[in-house]
Amino acid sequence: MKTLNQVIYGICIIGLSGCATFKSLDAHPPLYQSIFIYSGTRLDWAAITKNDVALRKTNVTPPRYPLIDLPLSFALDSIFLPMTVYAEVFH
């Protein structure tokens, strides 16, 4: 059980150290190009699929391990969803 907890903590630390959600919401591209809703998940997915167009559009360096960060970013993007919908509608 102790080993499982260490693995879970390690995954969380790796995920939060390069969290795509925080990186993408902290970036400052022009507002007409910004997509706030699930931006971290989109960044991770673009890195996993090697979508260069989407990566250039976000203008953010993706995390080192996007596959590990994907579920964590999805969870955090879901928590931030009301705020990002508000920002998307009124920007």
Cβ atoms of residues 37 and 81 within 8 Å: yes
Q: What is the pTM of this model?
A: 0.71
Residue-wise pLDDT tens digits, 28-66: 555 556 677 888 888 889 999 999 888 888 778 888 888
Residue-wise pLDDT tens digits, 17-38: 557 776 776 665 555 566 778 8
Eight-class DSSP state of 77: H
Domain chopping of the chain, boundaries: 2-89
Q: How sure is the predictor about 79, in pLDDT bands with cuts at 50, 70 and 90?
A: confident
Q: What per-residue string of b and e applies to 26-60 under the rule 16 or more CB within 10 Å gives b?
A: eeeeeeeebebebbbbbbbbbbeeeeeebbebbeb
